[in-house]
Amino acid sequence: MNHSCPICAYPGLEEPPRSPSSGGSYEICPCCGFQFGVTDDDDGVTYDTWRLHWAEEGMEWFSRGVPAPAGWDARAQFAKVASKTSSPPATKTAPQSTKPGPTGVGPDQRRLR
């Protein structure tokens, strides 16, 4: 099963990068070179920092053992993460909990009678 890299959006990771039970997968993303459970846990590098670093380095394919997929396009792939991370905070979406309804007015109406 394939999983997406949370840093570079490469969709071909063998394992989920992190799991609640076992932490990092120790898999190295062949695209951006981030090793889950090591680069983050041991080196203290955040996804955002690594992503910036990777972008600054020219978004090059990291792995020398795993070839880049045919037609791999770093910028197209990176556009996915960029749109994901730079999306504005969810202020536009209406909060789901505040439903206008008769429930809040009920007691007051009863009191008036």
Residues of this chain that interact with Zn ion (CB under 5 A) are: 5, 7-8, 10, 29, 31-32
| 36 touches 16 (CB < 8 A) | no
Separation of alpha carbons 39 and 45, rounded Å:
6
Separation of alpha carbons 96 and 27, rounded Å:
38
Residue 73 CB, shortest distance to Zn ion, in Å, is: 14
Burial of 92 (0-12, 13-18, 19+ CB in 10 A): exposed
Nearer to Zn ion, 47 or 107 (CB): 47
Nearer to Zn ion, 29 or 74 (CB): 29
Nearer to Zn ion, 55 or 95 (CB): 55
Residue 87 CB, shortest distance to Zn ion, in Å, is: 19
Residue 68 CB, shortest distance to Zn ion, in Å, is: 12
